[in-house]
Structure 1
Amino acid sequence: MDQIVGGARLATEVPKGFVTLDVLSVQHYTDRLFSFTTQRPAGFRFRSGEFAMIGLMIDGKPLVRAYSIASANWEEHLEFYSIKVPDGPLTSKLQNIQIGDQILIRPKPVGTLVFDALLPGKRLFLLSTGTGIAPFASVIRDPEVYEKFDQVHLLHSCRNVAELQYGIDLVQSVHSHDYLGDLADGMLYHHPSATREIYKNTGRIDDWIKDGRLAQMSGGDLTPETDRVMICGSMAMLDTLKGLCEEHGFLEGSNSKPGQFVIEKAFAG
């Protein structure tokens, strides 16, 4: 099978365990961030918040990384949100994909940022930095989230204001959706923040928790009795927020033993 990458067609065989997907759209947000959509394999099922191994054939071998699936689990396409790493083995090439190119995917999604890993609760806090918002793009487009929780708070911090645009567009699309809009009305709250530029919200998420800003904007301090937390971002961010959750008495959950918070550790390079 031929694979097309950045307009170049390369004759190659599809490795065992993978399938190829045509790229349907590509959108570049900044010189560091872009999103793209692909076909969805026949019979491909995933839970909101899961990730899949995707990539390209590089030098005759599959080079793949874990990417959260950003599309809703009911959509006919798959969406991914990626950082551009200039010297990254994969993203340095993936950032050049165009409509009609092909990517590889291992059609076995997995992950811990799923409802099954959380105990029932009233408020759900989705804490993300950078492309860590990707799994939550799927979560807030899942009607189930509005059945399970009374409030959904999406926090997204980035260095620059321009890097917040993906999340802004995402939330607007939910509120304007014919069906999801009614479900999310009065339940979905978006809190974007820039850490290196002047914006309506500034600072890191851990600072918001420590200085009381999160409690002020959400109606009360984090409490393990009623609140549930999902965290996705850099390793340093994960460690910091995991520690804060544990300080507040939250227990980490898993697919086999649900808890009060969960974290994701899938990175692309």
Structure 2
Amino acid sequence: MTHRIAIAGSSGRMGRTLIEAVLAADDCRLAAALDQPDSPALGQDAGAFLGQASGVAIGADVEAGLTQAQYLIDFTRPEGTLAHLLACRARGVKAVIGTTGFSEAQKAQIAEIARDIAIVMAPNMSVGVNVVLKLLDMAARALDQGYDIEIIEAHHRHKVDAPSGTALKMGEVVAAALGRDLKQCAVYGREGVTGERDPSTIGFATVRGGDIVGDHTVLFAGTGERIEITHKSSSRATYAQGSLRAVRFLAGRSTGLYGMDDVLGMA
């Protein structure tokens, strides 16, 4: 079976990584490479940055681009992703969404669209990160008393949302394991005289700089010991390979909203 895939944001860092992965996969074919109307890459061969011809030119017409595609992989911005999903629904194209920064209303809209097409959406497509989420659930249940929890994340200087979607997902997993609501217990910044730490809170710290692909650490700080669960990404290739696993998972689904835990059989 050959999976015909369209890539959104094709001239960006993640878009290029996805294109490289698709071109290298024996069971995948690049059906379309999409980008913004003002992109200087429009009209170029999508594989030019690799020094190879893919036979697919980068274009801005989403409607035309999806004509030959069975799947769309999108790691762009929330507004653009939602517009792409509406186009996917109109054509029965399945979607893999790695975009982060969605509002609750936007997430609800995606869930509504998933009634008509199959979607995998995750704040992080890395297989390793999703294994870490399972480890965090286990750790939080065991360390539910006497441990302060802090989540530290670092990304490159170009990332526009904070904390990262992955850090927030980690917080959600930990909070749920402890029977808490992250919206009520999260602390996103500290400055000045903050007073003694509230033990029921989950703290977040954000670092932005350089070309850091993505580092996440969840710290459980107790009396006399610290437990740190860390994931570090050295390449975006891990997100691309996870996305292709999500595509293969969707091949057997027609509708529904899924996460990477479903893709990996850990749900």
Q: TM-score, structure 1 length as denominator?
A: 0.29
Higher fraction of helix? 2
Higher fraction of strand? 1
